[in-house]
């Protein structure tokens, strides 16, 4: 594993693809996974250096034979987005599932020639499109209330792409006729309609269902080393995997005590500074991991969507505020996904046709330089 060091008599930094360790006067004062868009930090007034990214330059065309795109009615979503152009786009910051949403969103913008730009810090856009996701609930309120509500107040028009909403009264108090909000399931739609905020509320489907196979054109040139670390974390799962992947969450939304191979969504992340290339990179790793098994058991919504897109047998468990079951009833059932099942516990035996690809193996070997 390649390491990079910065040292002086006061400050010593050691960084590899997975983490960063900072020592001040020999004492460990900071130890963290390295995030893309490296945030400038100061230790006792001393600025930490910006360490150049590492890793090989690789361009791969991954195997998309298992990918089954979904046909969606985009007329209402397109009409509302076109009324916003040109607009500023903020992807929902979060885990690898959020990267899948953001990748599909960027593809959608490109496919339909929607002019956009990424949000720049300390700038107030006139028209703002905020990415879909599951951030609008009490679990993440401290973050979105501080980060996004002040920005919304300064913006002429705001469109929130298909999301879930639950007990987010602080957001409801901000909503007015400037807002167009897409909900990805009936539960959220009913919640916002009852609030009578003056915002336009529209029921639609999670935008990750609109993903297309171009996400498998993998290009890591300029990719931050964080993604190489993600692949190394996933490697331990890959080496011991069976034909069924148990990808269960381990955070505040979990309500199950079943054994998990890997919390796949939590293995990677995107943030507010993530580039288009980083988003697509994270999404392709996510999909390739799902595609390395024949069947999936998960309570992560976007692991389930990825499994459906990759034509896997998928067993969905619910989350704490019924997000998964609500999306299942609104989208999986109405779209028609016979291989996706909503269950209360993992089945004792799972029989699935062999569909696993070698994409994850290729990424680990060619991109992360990990011998398997």
Inform me whether the pLDDT recorded for 22 exceeds 80: no
**Structural element, H or E, at residue 191:** helix 186-195
Same domain, 204 and 83: yes
Of 171, 192, 209, the one marking the end of a domain is: 209
Nearest-angstrom CA–CA distance, 297 and 310? 14
Distance CA 98, CA 283 (A): 9
Tens digits of residue pLDDT in 135-170: 999 999 999 999 999 999 999 999 999 999 999 999
Give the SS3 label for residue 81.
Answer: helix
Confidence tier at 311 by pLDDT (50, 70, 90): very high
Return the ∠ at Cα 95 (arms to 92 and 101), rounded to 5°.
50
Range of the domain at 41: 4-47
In a domain, 221, yes or no: no
1-10, 60-69, 208-217: which has the minimum mean pLDDT? 1-10
Mean pLDDT over residues 77-96, rounded? 97
Residues ≥6 apart with Cβ < 8 Å to 266: 95, 96, 249, 250, 251
| Position 53 confidence tier, pLDDT thresholds 50, 70, 90 | very low
Q: In what order do the strands lie in the sheet with 295-298?
A: 244-247, 295-298, 313-316, 340-342
pLDDT-derived band at 74 (thresholds 50, 70, 90) equals very high
> Whole-prediction pTM value?
0.85
Give the tens place of pLDDT for each residue, 263-289: 999 999 999 989 998 899 899 999 999
Q: What is the count of structural domains for the chain?
A: 3
* Whether residue 88 is found in the same domain as residue 200: yes
Same domain, 169 and 115: yes
The reply to whether 56 falls in a domain is no
Q: In this prediction, what percent of the chain has a pLDDT beyond 70?
A: 82
Picking from 278, 274, 282, 304, the residue whose alpha carbon sits closest to that of residue 231 is: 282
User: Above 60 in pLDDT, residue 312?
Assistant: yes
Per-residue confidence (pLDDT) for residue 305, from 0 to 100: 98
Nearest to 299 by CA among 369, 331, 346: 346
29 pLDDT above the threshold of 90: no
CATH of the domain at 186: 3.40.50
42 shares its domain with 85: no
């Amino acid at each position: 594993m390649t390491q990079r060091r910065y040292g002086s008599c006061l400050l010593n930094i050691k960084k590899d693809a997975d983490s960063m360790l900072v020592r001040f006067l020999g004492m460990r004062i900071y130890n963290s996974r390295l995030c893309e868009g490296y945030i400038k930090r100061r230790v006792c007034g001393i600025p930490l250096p910006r360490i150049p990214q590492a890793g090989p330059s690789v361009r791969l065309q991954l195997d998309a034979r298992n990918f089954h795109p979904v046909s969606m009615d985009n007329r209402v979503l397109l009409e509302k987005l076109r009324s916003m152009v040109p607009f500023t786009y903020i992807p929902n910051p979060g885990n690898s599932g959020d990267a899948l949403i953001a990748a599909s969103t960027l593809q959608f913008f490109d496919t339909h020639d929607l002019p956009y730009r990424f949000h720049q810090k300390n700038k107030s856009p006139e028209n703002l499109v905020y990415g879909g996701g599951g951030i609008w609930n009490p679990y993440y309120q401290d973050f979105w209330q501080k980060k996004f509500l002040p920005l919304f107040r300064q913006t002429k028009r705001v469109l929130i792409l298909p999301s879930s909403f639950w007990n987010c009264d602080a957001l409801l108090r901000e909503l007015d006729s400037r807002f167009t909000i897409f909900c990805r399931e009936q539960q959220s739609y009913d919640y916002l309609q009852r609030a009578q905020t003056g915002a336009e509320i529209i029921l639609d489907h999670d935008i990750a269902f609109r993903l297309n196979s171009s996400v498998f054109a993998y290009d890591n040139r300029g990719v931050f080393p964080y993604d190489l670390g993600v692949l190394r974390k996933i490697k331990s799962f890959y080496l011991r995997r069976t034909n069924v992947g148990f990808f269960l969450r381990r955070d505040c939304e979990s309500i199950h005590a079943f054994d998990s191979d890997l919390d796949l969504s939590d293995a990677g992340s995107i943030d507010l500074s993530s580039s288009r290339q980083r988003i697509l990179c994270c999404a392709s790793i996510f999909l390739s991991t799902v595609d390395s098994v024949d069947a999936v058991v998960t309570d992560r919504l976007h692991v389930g969507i990825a499994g459906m897109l990759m034509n896997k047998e998928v067993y969905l468990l619910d989350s704490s505020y019924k997000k998964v079951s609500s999306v299942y009833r609104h989208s999986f059932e109405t779209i028609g996904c016979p291989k996706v099942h909503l269950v209360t516990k993992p089945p004792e035996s799972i029989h699935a046709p062999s569909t696993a690809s070698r994409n994850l193996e290729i990424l680990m070997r060619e991109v992360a330089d990990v011998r398997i």
